[in-house]
Structures are given as structure tokens and as C-alpha cells.
Chains A and B, each alone.
Chain A
Amino acid sequence: MSHAPRTARGTSRPGAPEAHAEDDVVLSREESRAVRRRSLRLLAELIRPVRVRFWATLGMVVVSQATKAAGPAIIALGVDRALPALLHGDSLLVWLTGAAYLAAALTTAGLTAGYVTSTAKLSQAMLLDLRVRVFRHTQRLSLDFHEHYTSGRIISRQTSDLEALRELLDSGVSSLVSGILFMLFTAATVFLLDWPSGFIMLTAAAPMFALARWYQKRSQVAYRASRVASARLIVHFVETMTGIRAVKAFRKEAENNEVFGGLAEDYRKVTARSIQLNGILQPGLVLIGNVTVAVVLLVAGLRVLDGTLAVGVLLALVLSVKRFYQPVADMAMFYNSFQSAQAALEKVSGLLEEVPTVVPPRDPTPLPDPRGEVRFDRVEFGYGEGPVVLPEFSLDIPAGQTVALVGATGAGKSTLAKLIARFYDVTSGAVMLDGVDLRRLSTTDLRRAVVMVTQEAFLFSGSVADNIALGRPTATRAEVEAAAKAVGAHDFIEALPEGYDTDVNKRGGRVSAGQRQLISFARAFLAAPAVLILDEATSSLDIPSERLVQAGLAKLLAQRERTAIIIAHRLSTVEIADRVLVMDGGRIVEDGTPEELIRGGGRFAALHGAWRESLV
């Protein structure tokens, strides 16, 4: 299988923006077969849990079709039998046929309502299943994946791709089933009436099949292209909307309009292309059907002249053959939405097949009571296949130590910290917590033991309290408030219009940058892990708030033995540290207590000196 789930790193060559294998439109034969198999497998998996409903729905469709077909038969019965009976003064049969007709109508209507609801339930259950699966999987995927896949693509998988599937599920199945049934019945009738005509009808299947094949090949490419174009459109859209301030401030609007106009036109073109293809398929099928009717008429008509066929049969034949092709339009529609859904499923299943590079172990080593000793054992690390960011090093951080990590920007501080939180796995060597390799810990144990406040303070839309409680969802309101108090966030939160229940808006836009950091900090405070990593968690704070945070932090660290790794450019933070690590170019170049390093007169001493200088 050539379309092996690529490791996230493989294709994401920096500077090669459209390197997504995702975005390929024309696939080789094997690739195409592989993705088709993959998407059909996904479809089958989605149907499995709802198969009972699936068959029940089909059953309802079949029965309702049958009762619907019974209507004309009952009318015929009425005209042929009940009318003569009525003429003879016997009205029983009239009542009977009337009742039968009503019963059939009632059944048809009831079942129609039944299968419309049932189809919706079916399709919604499958969509829910798929939505949750995709969500769960994207959450599971590692950061290196998210760094190149982009949020827009994931959103497009979750929205427009799922929409395509939904269309198939909602409208397709019942029309397909009733269509097939209808055609089967009609075909049987034709064969019973006159098998040579039936045979002519069958030969028409050959060009139809060829047309369908032709359509399938082209439409697959077209629909795939349409999925890709819509994803591009969405990626651009989301990027614009999330960066709207910068867009406005730097007058990017005109440029964006042009780009978006181009993307929208691309999308329009591929959409139009797929509709066009269907616009050839459908009339093509109609044409083949109509030609067949003409041929049947010719052949059967000549045979009537020969006297080998009765005229009545001829009429029945041509009418049946004509009717045989009636559902073809519906089937073409179905085929169309099937192709579209398949292209979408290809993309979704591709996403689902991405393998997280950071995976929890199958049989984890339990760590119920972490102490917080961190050890880097001959660790080397580089992002993906990029250059080595942290050349091989070893480092021991005993439990309970407060370590300050300082160094120039881009030195690798955040990278080192992210390794402890296992955002990425090391390229070689091992990071250990209490002597256990991080790769041997379950996610629950790891996240209970290690919490990292990242450089960007991200808030989710929702209340302040919800955002803080993210640190520990079971926390009571009192605990949430205590955490906020401890970091000095309580006052400003209380001052918000609805206090802790104020909605912080998307991305926490409702509060200031510093307030955002305070809330993130309170979150970590509430989590109170054995190992706390703070990556410039106070960079946007004013000095008094920073002091409050530090005091809170000192208290938290004193509470029980807790390891802290603090990255900060403001060396005030360093003062509560037991130990300082200075990084440069990915290496730890100095290591010691603050006093030692200051006395030693190295880089840290210089940094510290410069920092003292700057204070007032």
C-alpha cells in the first residue's frame, strides 16, 4: 500500500506549503484503490453499530413501496370486479376495495413517515459517531501533526466533508432501494411478457455500465478536487478570521480578497465540474433508456407484423421498458452523492489513519504517587526531521527542586520543557519521571504528575470559572476562587460584569493579555501537579501582579515537595529558584545555584547584572 499513513514529519517540508499528500487529486491506481478501500471500510464501521436500524429502515422502504404499488392494482380490481358487482346491486365489494385502498394508503403514509424519521436517526447516529471519532482522534494526535495539518483542514473535515456524507445518508439510500426494487419488478414483468425484449433491455446495461465507469473515474477526481479546494478555502477563511486584527492593521484586506476570490473561483470550478459530469451522466442514462425503448418498439413492432407477438403485449412491453428507466435519474443522483461522500470519506479516513507519534503505552507503569524527580538520560531532540535542536545531554532534577531555565530566545528552553510534558518524544535517549520513562506512563498519570503552562495563554470561550476549572474539572467553585485568589486574579475577576461567570469570549478576547495569563496561571495552580512547568507564564504581567503570582507560586511550591521548572526572561522569577540552567544554542551551558553562577561571573552573572541594571 503506497499510501501508508505518512508520518507527520515526512511530508511537511518547511517552505513547501502544498506538500500535503492529502491534497493530491489524481492518485495512482493502487493509491486510489487503497483510499477507496479505506473509506469504504470506514463507512462499514459506521454502519455496523446501527445495522439493525439500517435493515429496519430498508424494510420500511420496501413495504411502503409495495403498498404504494398496490394502490393501482386495487383500483383496477375495483373497476374490473366491484363495478360489475355494484351494477348487480352488490355493494360489498365496493366497500372492500375502498377499505383496502385506504388501508394501503394508511400503511404507505405511516411507513413513509417511519422511514423518513428512521433515515434521519440513522444518518445522525452515524454522523455523531464520526464527528466524535474525528474529534477524539484529533485530540489524540500529537502536536507535530497539528503543527502542519492546520486547524482549517480539521474544521473542513468536521464540517464540509461530513456534510457530503450526510447528504448521501439522508437522501440517497431510500431512493436507491426503492429504485432498485422498482426496476427489479419491472424487469421481471418484461421478461415474463416477452423474453427477447427483456434481452434487448439487458444489452442496454452494457453502455450504461460503461457510462457509469466513465463517470466514476472522472467524478472521483472531480470530487476529490472539490474536497481539496473547499479545505483550502476553509483554511484561508479561518486564518483570516482568527487574525483579523493583524489583517486590518496591515491592510491585508485587498490582498486577501484577491486570494479568497481565487480560491472561491477554484472551488466553484471544481464544483461546477462535478455537476457537469453528473449532467452528462444523467441525460446519458436517459438517452440510453430511450434508445432502448425505441429499439424494443421496432423489434417488437416488426414481430407484431409477423404475427409472433400480440399487440396488447407490445403496448405493455414498451410501457414497462419505458418505466424501467424512470428511477435511473434517482439512481444517478444517488451515485453522485455516493461519489461525493466517498471523496469526503477518503479525506476523513485519511485523517483518522494518521498515527499519533506520541502514543501512550499499552501496559503503562503505574505512578500513583509521583514525587517529581525528572531525569534526562542522554537525550537528543529535533523537531521532525528538521535539524537537531537539543544535542545530546543529560540532566537530573531532583524532586522538589525549583529550576529556572534561562537563555537567549530560540535557545531551546520551551523545547526542553515540552519534552518533560511529553508534547514530543525524544529522538534518542529518555526522559524519566521518578525513574520511569515518560513513554511508559499512562496519559492520566502523566498529566496528573506534570502540568505545563504554555507560552501562549489560551482561553476557551466559556466562563472564567470554567477556564480555571480546566486545571481540575472536579474542583468546587470555592476551590476555583481560592486558586484565583492565590495568584491575585480574584479581584479583577470579581470586577467583571458577571464575576466568575463572565464569558471570556473566543480566545479570551474579553480580558486583557495579563488577565489571560493570570487565569492560565490559576488553572495550573488548581491542578497542583508534582511537576509544574511555567513557560514565560508571567511575561505580560505588570510588576505588582508578577510579585503576587510569585508569592503564590512560592507558597504552592512550599506546600509539599513539588518540582518546578520556570522559564522566564525576567530574572525576578529566578530568585525563588534553587538552581539555574542557562541554555544557549540547545545546550545547557551553565548549571548551579543563582548565587554560585553570579559569583562565577559567567553568562548568567552578566545577564543578572544587566537585569539588575535595568531595575529601578
Chain B
Amino acid sequence: MPVKAPAREQIPFRRSLARLAPEARRIIPRLVAGLGVGLSASVLAVLVPQVFRAIIDTLLRAGATPSAVVSAAVVVLIMGVLEALLTFLRRIFVLDPATNVEASLRVTLYRHLQLLPVSFHDRWGSGQLLSRAMTDLNMLRRWLAFGAIYLVISITTVIVGIAMLFTISWQLALIFLAAAVPISIYSFRFRRQFVAASRRSQDQAGDLATAVEESVHGIRVLKAFGRSREALENFTLQAEELRATEVTKARHLAVFSMVVTLLPELALGTGLMVGLWLAATNQITVGALAAFFATAAAVANPVEMSGALVGMALTAKTAIDRHYEVRDEPVSIADPKEPRRLARPRGALAFRSVRFAYEPSRSRSAERKDDGARPVLRDIDLELVPGETMALVGLTGSGKSTLLQLVPRLYEVSGGSVEIDGVDVRSLALSDLRRIVSVAFEDTTLFSTSVRDNVLLGASTREGPEAEALLQEALDVAQAHFAYSLPEGVDTRIGEEGLSLSGGQRQRIALARAIAAKPAVLVLDDPLSALDVATEERVEARLRQVLAETTTLIVAHRPSTVALADRVALLRDGVIDDVGTHSELLARNSHYRYVIASLDTAPRDLDSELEAGDLDDLEEAR
């Protein structure tokens, strides 16, 4: 699983909470108002019995009239209505702020995720991200709207209650207070354990969501190999881990609940005996004894509740931590401070001593190897003149796709630079750069919208006759005329939520999308791999016209694709081994012949430069 939470130092509760400050500042007045109203409602609830007592005293007095009873009932009624009103108001006060904070954190997280570089997304499963965007923030909202306020009310009640206990009898109050010492010591330990467990459970829940996501996206493979059972077993194991963590968490909570229930009660039990003795020795009155116990019961209640409330607060804390962990990830590929603009990009593309290494994976045993950061691209020098079409040829895994993705800055070079019209791509605004450069990936990604929107995704206009013409042209170049015969033509929804297409159809839509953007630099990663020979030929014929003015870097595995290009660059061992026309390379470069030539009549000595291992395999293969 990606992103197993490493054992991290626990962030203190206050610091976690403080992170919310910018979001919370706006809502604090309303939260405080909610708290005030909540406190008044509690006070009112405490006062009502006093009113009863007063009324009864009146009734007991001789000469009470029915009107006294009526007015007493009216007072109780008013207080009751007031209580209901306050309860209502508390929710009104807190509702909007809590849900607003939730929604705004969610949207901010989403925005941030879209800004984070591809290398971040390589590492993080979408389930893990999702759990942070949904479950965690739901918890936070609930805590803000409910848990936090109750926590404050409870604490206030306890403090006020203990103060009152002291006014009744300091001896008994001290006994009661003595229980607080072990509780606070224990709560310290509880907090540490519970936070750790809750962190683990939230992480595991995220991983579980990732597992679900994978099992659904990989359903074809699982079905093709009949491996649903194994997938289920793995999933069950993972789900059981989560269950175990949840139960551990509950156990911590249970023990804490037990401690906070038991200790005050033990103190009260002791207090009862001491109190009886005090009363017997006339140090306090019986009435005071009764009052002490009534008040102590009122204090014990919120203390007992504190288990759940503290648990909720700590869970919310974990949610905040997890949220900000993602928010703290640096946006390492961002707009420069003072972006330069290319008024009229010509499309001269150059790689200058480009070096690139993928971030070493942060998996458990990553330290084992020498940081794992072997550069995929070591020293790339390559220049494309405007309008040129350059084919990029190399063995599987030689780094072609990696090189292409450096152009729109999906990854950042580790050394050297990529330049367009002599300007480092890092000094262009990302949106400008990606308007200039358009890509067709080797794995086609279509979105759940109409064919039209998918194709016009990168286009300058989306509506109007101009867009229509653009769409038509792009579909024509990519030979994707089939789109018109879909049930609703180009308005048919495709992608995950729409109609499924065949592999070649998807690829052609993706190609059309790259073309419709009318870029100055077009980057195509093996864009014809899923096409049959005849379609490929037609696409190429049309592409050739389009590509005439567009600088194109195209990954090619087949000679037929290479035929599109003016020149060919051969990538080998992280460097550009050779550049030239197809026939030049064929004539002078044996590695090129090895990579691209598939005729059986290929000269035998072609393989002479191969590494011994390759040769053996090849030999074996023949």
C-alpha cells in the first residue's frame, strides 16, 4: 500500500487545533455565540427545579389562590419555551459555520491536490486522499458543531460544580478533588494511546478505500484471471486489521470511561462515609450533606461523559493532522514568481543537459539501496526546430515517456533545462506552458463528459462555430468519425460514467484532444499503438498535414510511426545516443537497427553490440 503512515511524533492537541485558526477565525464569533446560548440553556435547565421549589413554598403558605398557581405555571412555561428556543438557537448559530468550515476545507484540499505534482499522486492512493477529504472532514464538522461546545460546557460545569462543592464543605470537596489527580495522570496516557490508535485506524480506513478503488478499477484483470477470491481474502485481511484497530481504540476509550466513572464514584463513596461521620460529629448539617451529593452528582455526569467527548476531540485532532499533512505537501511545480510570456510561440523545443531521477520511493526498505535515485535520464541534449517532427525511439523502459512529461512540467528536471523558444519552461506560467504544449498519453484518460467536451478540453474555445470546426477537424485528423455514429453523436457521454469505447476509439479521441488544443508543441506518446495498420495510415496522412507547422515530439515503437517524423532521436541508457533521419540512423547505428528493425532478414551482426544478457535471451528466443 502506498503511504503507510510512518511512526511520527505526535503533534500536541493545541498545535493541531491552532492550524485551523485561519479557517476558524471567521466563525469564532458564531461558535462563541453558540457556546453562550448552550451555556444559558444548561443554566436554565438547572434553574427550573429551583422555580418549582419556590412555587411549592408559595402553595404551602396559607391563602394561596388559583391565580398563583396559574402564574407559576406560566413562569415554568416561559422558561420551558425559552429553553427550547435556546436549544434551537444553538444549532442555528453553529450550523452554518461548522458546515462552511467543512466545505471550505474540502474545497481547499481538492484545489491543493490538483496543484500537487504528479510525483505526489504517484505515491498516494486515491482512497487515502478521499478518506481525508470526506470522512476526516465530516468528523471535524461534527466535532465543531457538537463535540467542542459540549466539551466546553462540560468543563465549565465541572469547574463551577467543584467551586460550589467547596462552599458546601471543603473536606468533602477535597476528597472529591483527589479523584481528579489520578484521572488527569491517566488521561495523559490515554491521550497518547488513543491518538496513536485513532491515527492508525484513519490511515487504515484510507488504505482500505484505496484497496476498494483498485479492486474496482482492476476488475477486468481480476475477472480475467478468476482472482476475485484472492482479492476478497486480501481485502478481508485488511478490513480485519482495521477492525482490530477500532476495537483497540474502543478498549482504550472503555478503560478511560471506566476510570472517569469509577474514581469520582469512589471519592463519593468515601465522601459518603466521611460525610456521615462529619454530620454525626456536627461539623456539617444534614442539609449540607444532601446538597453536597446533589451537586456532586451533577458534576460527575459531565465527567463520565468526558470519555466520549475527549475521544471525539482526539479523533477530530487526528483528522486535522491528516488534513494538514496533505496541505503541507509542497507544490513543487508551481508558477514562477515573475512568469515570462511567449507572445507568439514558435515552438522551438530544446533539452539542455537534462537530468532526471524519480523520487526514491518512501517505502519501508527504501533506505536499503543507495537512495534508489538512479537517474532515468542522465544527459539529454536535443533540439527541435519549429515545425519539426521528431520521433523518439528507445527500448521499453528507456525513459521516453519520462522525457515527454518533462515538457509540460508534469515532472521537474533534476538538472539542466527544457526550453521552448529559448525560454526555460520553469519561467513560464504553468497554464501558459500547458497551452503551448499539448500531450497525448500512452494510457488514454477520458473524462466523464461528452465526446465534444473531451476533445475540446484543451481548446481555446469551447462553444460556437469555431469550436465546432475545431472539433470536426480534430476528429477528422484522428480518424475518429465513429463519434458521429454514437447514440447521441458527439454529445454522447463517454468516460467512466458514460459509454465504453474500444481501445482504438479511446486512443483516437485522446489524440483528437491533443490536436484540438492547437498547440505550438505537440507531445505524443505512442499515439497510434492501438490502431490497425489501415487506420494508422490514414491518421498519419492527416497528421502529417497538421504537424507541418507544429513542433512534435512523438514516441515511436514502429517504423510506420517513425515515418511521420523528419528526424529521429534514439534514446539509450539515459542519453540521446544519436539523432538523424530514419535512413541515416538505420545505416549508421546498430542499436537503432536493433530497436526498430523487425525484418527477419536483418543482418545478424546487428546484435553484436548487445549486452551479453540480451543476446542470451534473444538466442534462447530464436
Contact = CB atoms under 8 A, between A and B. Distances in A.
Interface of A is mostly: helix
B329 to A, nearest CB: 14
Tell which of A14, A97, A280 has the most Cβ of chain B within 10 Å: A14
Contacts of A113: 254-255, 257-258
A97 B228 contact: no
A531 B253 CA distance: 56
A542 B99 contact: no
B448 A239 contact: yes
Contacts of B280: 83, 86-87
Interface string A332-368: 0000000000000000000000000000000000000
Interface residues of B, number: 206
Contacts of A414: 502-503
Contact of A237 (B110, B297, B361): B110
A500 interface: no
A423 B220 contact: yes
Given A257-B114, A498-B369, A569-B533, A15 B493 contact: yes
B562 to A, nearest CB: 9
Interface in A97-152: 97-98, 101-102, 104-106, 108-110, 112-114, 116-117, 119-121, 124-125, 127-128, 131-132, 135-136, 138-140, 143, 146-148, 150-152
B155 interface: no
B464 interface: no
Contacts of B189: none
A172 interface: no
A515 B250 contact: no
Contacts of A569: 529-533, 536
A78 B272 contact: yes
Nearest to B592: A616
Contact of B270 (A98, A286, A407): A98
Given A105-B266, A110-B258, A301 B72 contact: yes
Contact of B232 (A139, A151, A451, A607): A139
A284 B491 contact: no
Interface stretch (A190-198, A439-447, A591-599): A439-447
A219 B515 CA distance: 49
Contacts of A75: 272, 293
Contacts of A291: 77, 80-81
Contacts of B545: none
A241 to B, nearest CB: 4
A238 B134 contact: no
A112 B307 CA distance: 11
Nearest to B376: A512
A206 interface: no
Given A139-B232, A616-B599, A421 B224 contact: yes
Contacts of B127: 155, 159
Interface stretch (A268-276, A373-381, A394-402, A556-564): A268-276
Contacts of B123: 505
Interface stretch (B85-93, B163-171, B345-353, B380-388): B85-93
A403 interface: no
B24 interface: no
Contacts of A550: 621
B262 A105 contact: yes
A467 to B, nearest CB: 9
B73 interface: yes
Most buried by B among A15, A154, A257, A461: A15
A276 B89 CA distance: 11
A3 interface: no
Contacts of A252: 447, 457
B5 to A, nearest CB: 16
B272 A98 contact: yes
Given A15-B498, A470-B230, A512-B397, A138 B216 contact: yes
A303 B270 CA distance: 43
Contacts of B536: 569
Contacts of A535: 503
A219 B560 CA distance: 63
A360 B530 CA distance: 32
Given A147-B500, A238-B213, A514-B396, A506 B254 contact: no
Contacts of B145: 275
A150 B500 CA distance: 12
A119 B209 contact: no
B595 interface: yes
B273 interface: yes
Given A159-B134, A235-B497, A290-B83, A305 B66 contact: yes
Contact of A283 (B85, B107, B212): B85
A268 B517 contact: no
Contacts of A71: 265, 268, 297
A458 B217 contact: yes
Interface stretch (B10-18, B180-188, B234-242): B234-242
A277 B431 CA distance: 44
A237 B488 CA distance: 26
B226 A446 contact: yes
B458 A250 contact: yes
A506 B598 contact: no
Contact of A607 (B81, B258, B532): B532
Interface stretch (A38-46, A49-57, A312-320): A312-320
A25 interface: no
A527 interface: yes
A245 B297 CA distance: 61
Given A458-B218, A497-B368, 12 more contacts: A97-B272, A121-B250, A136-B232, A139-B231, A245-B405, A249-B434, A278-B91, A290-B80, A297-B55, A456-B503, A540-B396, A551-B622
26 contacts: A17-B448, A86-B277, A86-B280, A106-B262, A108-B261, A112-B254, A116-B254, A150-B448, A150-B497, A159-B134, A160-B138, A244-B118, A245-B118, A251-B431, A252-B457, A268-B99, A286-B84, A294-B80, A305-B64, A318-B52, A383-B500, A451-B225, A488-B617, A488-B621, A540-B557, A569-B536
| Nearest 6 interchain pairs by C-beta | A290-B80, A447-B226, A409-B504, A120-B250, A514-B396, A551-B621
